[in-house]
Copies of this chain bind each other. A is one copy, B any other.
Amino acid sequence: MSRPQQLISSLNCARLGRTIRQVLASGPVHEPIQVHGWVKSIRLQKRVAFAMVHDGTTSKSLQVVFQNPVHAKVLTNGASVRLRGVLVPSPGSGQENELLADSVDVLGECDPETYPIQKQALTTDYLRDHAHLRVRTDVQGAVLRLRDAVMGSFREFFRENDFTYAHTPIITANDTEGAGETFRVVPAPSGRASYAPITQDTEFFRKPSYLTVSSQLHLEALSNGVARVWTLSPCFRAERSQTSRHLAEFWMLEAEWTFVYSVEDICSVVEASIKHVLRLDSADRSLLQKDAGTSRALMAASSEVSWARITYTDAIHELQKSGVHFQYPPTWGAALQSEHERWLAESFARGPIFVTDYPSAIKPFYMRQNDDGKTVACFDLLVPHVGELVGGSLREERQTLLEAAIKRHGLDDGVYQWYLDLRKFGGAPHGGYGMGFERLISWLTGIENVRECIPMPRWSGRMLL
């Protein structure tokens, strides 16, 4: 998004000094400038030395030229430095400008013998074990910047469409799905691990409290007054499963809006918002997308051509007649397995596909009943390699049908009294969706495991820092 020059200059805080991104974006500067960063590599020659220096504000490094190679002899990979010099056009290929340094100060040394982030390729497991340092790698720096850029793209989309960003509660009395494994929250007044029993008396909020598994119900309450809301909020599942698509703590983008009458319209919003993100021009994304096939597939998904849509019932038919031998035979009434979802996206649609109108028995209580009495007005968006990326629905806005669903699902209707109130007082047709943010990053980059799509991942048995 281009911005008026005046705004840029008024917001730029001179006290912060120049970043390497700013230096590389500027033309040659003949007055001496000061630049900071970490040494990425050094090349010593007889009469001249070169260093590549980065500061993480861009995926690129600044080439620094020392006309006196002695200056570079104190440098090691990973050391932090302050440089002074002039920015001149580079005679070499690979960069437009380079810094002709006349002084260098090492601010923080880095012992090349013990530095954990060595130059040779490090395994994914090794980097997970060094969660506090892995942001120094090209890949993790790019993931961090890409998450920010993707969030910014969604923000643009939602703002243009009058959605308000909402901070929904993390600690909650509700368990949105009515099932699933949650975390309990209890006070630890000593600030230390306590193995004392939790009792009614120790409840900080005078009742049991949980970490949220979804912001949906809270967004529904807010969208009942501010008609369009969204959030990107942490969610928590105490699941022991160790797959490449699950984290105990993850970020979910959720949107909810009132005055929508069909699943088709919700799917259109999902598609428009993700296509806006897919069109994001990002050097970090190019750096991460190592596989040409991934890039081509994402390019195709970002085109004007609408994504495939199919009902669950038709999807079961297609799976049954595919001739593929699935471990779980596809059967109407049963959940789609990963193998089914992947076949639908990768072989059948060869791209993103919305599957709509699942059987009500396998979906949560809040989804809106279809007229057939058997299915609900919902969808999952399946994408190649990742599987389920988004799930959403119309929400049941008819009070009596919602009450019946709460009973049918064996839920405590006392807990949901406030949720019923939303229907009682000026409720209206509404719906929304949730998207796993790390899964989206995984799809956008081709990074296989969501543990590499978040700076500091948590899963069963693993929480560093």
Question: What is A's interface to B at a CB cutoff of 8 Å?
Answer: 1-4, 7-8, 11-13, 15-17, 19, 21-22, 36-39, 55-57, 78-80, 82, 107-111, 114-117, 131-137, 140-141, 144-145, 147-148, 151-152, 155-157, 159-162, 164-175, 179-189, 191-200, 204-211, 217-218, 221-222, 224-229, 234, 236, 238, 248-249, 251, 257-260, 265, 268-269, 272-273, 276, 397, 418-419, 421-429, 454-456, 458, 460-465
**B195 to A199, Cβ gap below 8 A?**
yes
**A418 to B463, Cβ gap below 8 A?**
no
**B204 to A248, Cβ gap below 8 A?**
yes
Task: Give Cα distance in the complex from A44 to B155, angstroms.
Answer: 41
Q: Given contacts A164-B145, A221-B132, A426-B78, are A188 and B195 in contact (CB under 8 A)? A: no
Q: Given contacts A15-B268, A197-B195, are A217 and B162 in contact (CB under 8 A)? A: no
- Residues of B near A134 (CB, < 8 A) are 225
Chain B residue at smallest Cβ distance from A110: B426
- Given A38-B225, A114-B425, A186-B198, 14 more contacts at CB 8 Å? A22-B162, A57-B162, A57-B228, A80-B258, A111-B424, A115-B425, A115-B426, A132-B221, A141-B225, A168-B456, A169-B458, A174-B465, A184-B187, A205-B461
The 6 closest A-B pairs by CB, nearest first: A56-B226, A193-B208, A135-B225, A80-B428, A36-B259, A205-B463
Q: Given contacts A78-B425, A167-B455, are A135 and B226 in contact (CB under 8 A)? A: yes
**A186 to B189, Cβ gap below 8 A?**
no
- Residues of B near A151 (CB, < 8 A) are 165
- Residues of B near A181 (CB, < 8 A) are 187-189, 191
The answer, among B136, B170, B184, B427, for a CB contact under 8 Å with A170, is: B170
Task: Give Cα distance in the complex from A1 to B11, angstroms.
Answer: 12
- Residues of B near A82 (CB, < 8 A) are 259
The answer, among B171, B197, B461, for a CB contact under 8 Å with A196, is: B197
- Residues of B near A175 (CB, < 8 A) are 191
**A135 to B222, Cβ gap below 8 A?**
yes
The answer, among B11, B269, B427, for a CB contact under 8 Å with A161, is: B11
- Residues of B near A425 (CB, < 8 A) are 78, 108, 110-111, 114-117, 133
**A57 to B465, Cβ gap below 8 A?**
no
Q: Given contacts A185-B185, A195-B197, are A465 and B169 in contact (CB under 8 A)? A: yes
Q: Given contacts A15-B265, A133-B225, are A427 and B80 in contact (CB under 8 A)? A: yes
Q: Given contacts A217-B465, A225-B136, are A16 and B161 in contact (CB under 8 A)? A: yes
The answer, among B109, B206, B465, for a CB contact under 8 Å with A173, is: B465
The answer, among B3, B133, B145, for a CB contact under 8 Å with A1, is: B3
**B426 to A109, Cβ gap below 8 A?**
yes
Provide a sorted-by-A list of 30 A–B residue pairs whose CB atoms are within 8 angstroms.
Answer: A13-B157, A13-B273, A16-B257, A21-B162, A22-B162, A57-B228, A110-B426, A114-B425, A132-B224, A133-B425, A134-B225, A135-B224, A136-B224, A144-B229, A145-B226, A152-B155, A167-B251, A171-B236, A181-B188, A181-B189, A186-B198, A187-B238, A192-B208, A193-B207, A195-B198, A204-B248, A205-B461, A205-B463, A206-B461, A221-B456
Task: Give Cα distance in the complex from A111 to B216, angstroms.
Answer: 26
Task: Give Cα distance in the complex from A174 to B164, angstroms.
Answer: 33
**A133 to B421, Cβ gap below 8 A?**
yes
Q: How far is the CB of A110 from chain B (nearest CB, A)?
A: 4
Q: How far is the CB of A363 from chain B (nearest CB, A)?
A: 17
- Residues of B near A22 (CB, < 8 A) are 162
**A259 to B17, Cβ gap below 8 A?**
yes
**A11 to B156, Cβ gap below 8 A?**
yes
- Residues of B near A157 (CB, < 8 A) are 11, 13
Chain B residue at smallest Cβ distance from A117: B425
- Residues of B near A192 (CB, < 8 A) are 208
**A194 to B189, Cβ gap below 8 A?**
no
- Residues of B near A204 (CB, < 8 A) are 183, 238, 248, 460-461
Task: Give Cα distance in the complex from A170 to B194, angstroms.
Answer: 19
Q: Given contacts A426-B78, A464-B173, are A1 and B7 in contact (CB under 8 A)? A: yes
